[in-house]
Amino acid sequence: MDNHPPKPPTRRPEAERLETDVLDLLVVGGGIVGAGVARDAAMRGLRVGLIEQRDFAFGTSSRSSHLLHGGLRYLSQGHLRLVHEASKEKRVIHRIAPHLAAPQAFIFPTRRGWRWARWKLGIGVKLYDLLCGRRNLGKSSTLTRRETLELLPGLSPDGVTGAVRYFDGLTHDSRLVMDTLRSASRHGAIVLNYARFLDAARQTDHWRIDARDAAADRAMAIRARQIVNATGPWSDKLPHSRTRLRLTKGVHLVIDRGRLPIPEAVVLTEGARILFAIPWGQRVILGTTDTDYAGPVDDPPCEPDDVQYVLDVVAALFPGAGIAPRDVISTWSGLRPLVADRNGQPSDISRRHEITLAEPGWWDVTGGKLTTYRLMAEQTVDRVIRALGRPANPCRTAVEPLLDPREDVGPSSIVPPPVTREAVEHYCHNEWALRLDDVLIRRTGWWYYHADVQAVADAVAPWMAKSLGWDAPRVAAERAACFPLWEAASPSIPPPHRPTAPAKSPGRIPAN
């Protein structure tokens, strides 16, 4: 391979193709919802383009709890339809992307005098199985006190009455976005990252869209008959949008599995709130919080109070574990783009989605969950096709696999793959990676998984340089731009390898 270095991929033809003809549909936003809409629209035969202001999955779709779930707690709020809908979708994802959907057992310990009595939960999980169809991803069961304490030896035994065990799915959120986009692209969608929507003006029968290609540092003019605003937490900021959002923030912490050796995922309760400890290879993901948020939408910080809150909940259930901020390997923090409802606690707000025609040819798609993205996309594309007023293929996204079953799915997995040059070349050549953090964070999750992320960056940067034609100053600039992200995301955590002198981020990415 050294004798035949791969030709640097070029994104220019994609950018130019976006501007050539009038598109049937332009999707704004490259999170899971935008990716799902682009895939569905392309499969139905529409000429579709997608622009993403940063990297694909930069927003909430790389900052979730990684669960495919019906939402057991929405049952207690009486949202049966929502749970049924999401439960069906969790099985659909299991079918179309088996490499990104592993059945995950959850142990939900119960205690005397708590609102979650074991008998009530026992009925709840049976109903949960039923709502998922004849078979959930696994059959739920009830555990005795002894069985529970044997399974979770570190669990505080005070008042424990037993547990229920039920199943949801574990995924890798940003990988799901990438593979959905790969499929969209194979079906003809033109997708471009680092291209920001600026404004749109209605012409007689189409929109004229002004956008900025940050990678090539140039203005773009795109024409499209319909626009779907799928910008998640940003969706009320776009001109023409009618969306009203209530943003809530959720943080996650990653610790070594040796610090909390749980055999399966554990439900952690704090009053009416539910948090999770989820095994993730050699690590455990702890989270999440749910607090109203009014700060900047890009990169919401994980504050010391957020970390302490999560660790306090863990300490109440696993008092002997003694997990402290110094045990935290990494954190991420995301914003839920909830449909506005000023009343009630954040955790009580429904995760329903809304598809709104803001004005002719402009659709806002908001709310929902990672789990329900495919359904949101199907319903959106149905409406777009009706508005276009012409025949199209039927929706096949629930049955057609994201990737060809014969394809090597090695670089796309729930747990980060090994750090190899072949994987990095694949991300640069087939998955639109342009920056160091595109690979470290959203293509792989190495950023969150590896304690010594600088060593990983040291290995990855030269491989990216070779694939993308970077010179030495560009490599240095990429590293310098990457590590302040750590500072911003986790001001409270003293990671052992945190760099001391973060440099300034390079202004723009040179075009390849």
Ligand X SMILES: Cc1cc2nc3c(=O)[nH]c(=O)nc-3n(C[C@H](O)[C@H](O)[C@H](O)COP(=O)(O)OP(=O)(O)OC[C@H]3O[C@@H](n4cnc5c(N)ncnc54)[C@H](O)[C@@H]3O)c2cc1C
Which range touches ligand X (CB under 6 A), out of 32-40, 149-157, 184-192, 254-262?
Answer: 32-40
Half-sphere exposure of 233 (CA within 13 A, CB side): 24
| Interface region with ligand X, contact rule CB under 6 A, candidates 45-53, 310-318, 395-403, 467-475 | 45-53
**Residue number, 101 or 255, with CB nearest to ligand X:** 101
CB 372 within 8 A of CB 89: yes
Residue 241 interacts with ligand X (CB under 6 A): yes or no: no
From CA 14, how far away is CA 297, in angstroms rounded?
Answer: 28
User: Among 233, 300, 361, 495, which residue interacts with ligand X (rule: CB under 6 A)?
Assistant: 233
- Give me the least distance between CB of 361 and ligand X, in Å please: 17
Q: Containing H/E element for 421?
A: helix 421-430
Buried-state track 475-494, b at ≥16 Cβ within 10 A, e below 16: eebbbbbbbebbeebbeebe
Specify which residues 208 forms β-bridges with. 201, 223
Cβ-based nearer residue to ligand X, 65 or 148: 65
Does 87 bind ligand X (CB under 6 A)? Our answer is no
- Within residues 338-377, the interface with ligand X by CB under 6 A covers 368-371
- List the structure tokens of 239: 């001109």
Q: Which residue has the tokens 């190899």?
A: 420
CB of 137 to ligand X, least distance (A): 14
Locus of tokens 């439960």: 87
Asked whether position 51 contacts ligand X by CB under 6 A, the answer is: yes
Kindly give the pairing relationship between strand 245-256 and strand 283-287: antiparallel
The single residue among 23, 28, 441, 489 that binds ligand X, judged by CB under 6 A, is 28
Q: How far is the CB of 30 from ligand X (least distance, A)?
A: 5
Full DSSP string of 168-191 = EEE--HHHHHHHHHHHHHHTT-EE
Which helix (H) or strand (E) segment is 210 a member of? strand 207-213
Least spacing, CB of residue 338 vs ligand X, in Å = 9
Nearer to ligand X, 149 or 440 (CB): 440
Q: Binding residue for ligand X (CB under 6 A) from 58, 280, 318, 448?
A: 58
Report how far residue 17's alpha carbon sits from residue 34's, in angstroms, rounded to the nearest whole number.
Answer: 19
- Contact between 230 and ligand X per CB under 6 A: yes
- Asked if 27 touches ligand X (CB under 6 A), the answer is no
In angstroms, what is the minimal distance from the CB of 267 to ligand X?
13
CB 357 within 8 A of CB 383: yes
Select from 25, 26, 32, 192 the one that contacts ligand X (CB under 6 A): 32
SS3 content of the chain, % helix, strand, coil (to 5): 35, 25, 40
Interface map 185-224 toward ligand X (x if CB under 6 A): -----------xx---------------------------
Q: Considering the rule CB under 6 A, would residue 424 count as an interface residue with ligand X?
A: no
CB of 170 to ligand X, least distance (A): 9
Q: Residue 188 class from Cβ within 10 Å (0-12 exposed, 13-18 middle, 19+ buried)?
A: middle
**Window of 26-34, 200-208, 218-226, 477-485 that interacts with ligand X by CB under 6 A:** 26-34
Closest distance of CB 320 from ligand X, Å: 28
Among 183, 226, 243, 288, contact with ligand X (rule: CB under 6 A): 288
Minimum CB separation of residue 16 from ligand X in Å reads 18
User: Helix or strand or coil: residue 328?
Assistant: strand
Angular region, 35: left φ>0, alpha ψ -120 to 50, beta rest: alpha
Residue 229 in contact with ligand X, rule: CB under 6 A: no
Q: How far is the CB of 182 from ligand X (least distance, A)?
A: 16
Q: Applying CB under 6 A, which of residues 169, 232, 416, 445 lies at the interface with ligand X?
A: 232
The count of other CB atoms within 10 Å of the CB of residue 145 is 17
Binding site for ligand X (CB under 6 A): 28-34, 51-54, 58-61, 63-67, 69, 196-197, 230-234, 238, 250, 288, 334-337, 368-371
